[in-house]
Amino acid sequence: MKEHSWRSDRRKTAERGYGGRWQRERVAFLALNPVCERCEKEGRVVTATVVNHRTPHRGNEVLFWDRKNWEAACKPHHDGEIQREERSGVARGVDAGGRPTDPSHPWNRALR
């Protein structure tokens, strides 16, 4: 049997925690953090429209509401790069020598 996925949950968004309270908190967070963090790291200024959970909450309410776990993002970053990272478990990017910068990348793990 396939493991339950938070993303495949067929309940309404409000039933999954994205109701009125989330909408108010989201608007307030984006007012304080109006620029996509990832675009800013790339030297671009792009309006953030999405509040992403840095660590996927997968239904964990404590993680869901932890503002330190929130990231201001533009929709293209959220729907592209961030989703790829969530699926693979590895952030993209390399250093000047071509080595992956994510410590959890298989190339950076100690040999067993």
**In this prediction, what percent of the chain has a pLDDT beyond 90?**
42
Q: pLDDT value at position 75?
A: 95
Looking at residue 102, its pLDDT comes to 64
The partner residues of 70 in beta bridges, in order of sequence, read: 53
79/1: higher pLDDT: 79
Where do the structural domains in the chain lie, given as residue ranges? 13-91
Cα distances from 29 to residues 6, 83, 107, in angstroms, run 23, 21, 36
Q: What is the Cα–Cα distance from 88 to 14, expressed in whole angstroms?
A: 27
Does the pTM surpass 0.85? The reply is: no
How far does CA 56 lie from the centroid of its chain?
7
Q: How do residues 15-68 score in pLDDT, each as one tens digit?
A: 555 778 999 999 999 999 999 999 999 999 999 999 999 888 888 899 999 999
Pick from 75, 94, 32: nearest CA to 102: 94
